[in-house]
Amino acid sequence: GAGVSQSPRYKVAKRGRDVALRCDSISGHVTLYWYRQTLGQGSEVLTYSQSDAQRDKSGRPSGRFSAERPERSVSTLKIQRTEQGDSAVYLCASSSLWAHEQYFGPGTRLTVT
């Protein structure tokens, strides 16, 4: 069956511009996570949502990162006023309710110039 997909796979943005990254999760999964993965620092949770929450819980760093869930199996991570330090791979993952196992997408590599 279809796994988690992300688009675009690569994104280049000029510093200061806003970007939106999309995640299509596995049908039936209710929890969606966004992670940021940087070299040498592992992956940190940016935000996650459960069930039908339209807007996700607070992200890190707060303010510029937010996620929306226009459909149950779709999430959009929005980064406002991008900074060079935002350059990273952004991973989306989903899981079924009360399950620990998360299924990851292939990631979007964001480069801020």
Q: Which of 61, 107, 108 is nearest to 85 (CA)?
A: 61
For another protein, which is the closer residue by CB, 17 or 74? Answer: 74
For another protein, which is the closer residue by CB, 19 or 90? Answer: 90
**Residue 6 Cβ, how far from another protein at the closest point, in Å?**
8
Q: Which residues are at the interface with another protein (CB under 8 A)?
A: 4, 31, 33, 35, 37, 40-45, 48, 91, 93, 95, 99-107
CA–CA separation, 86 vs 1, rounded Å? 32
**Residue 81 Cβ, how far from another protein at the closest point, in Å?**
25
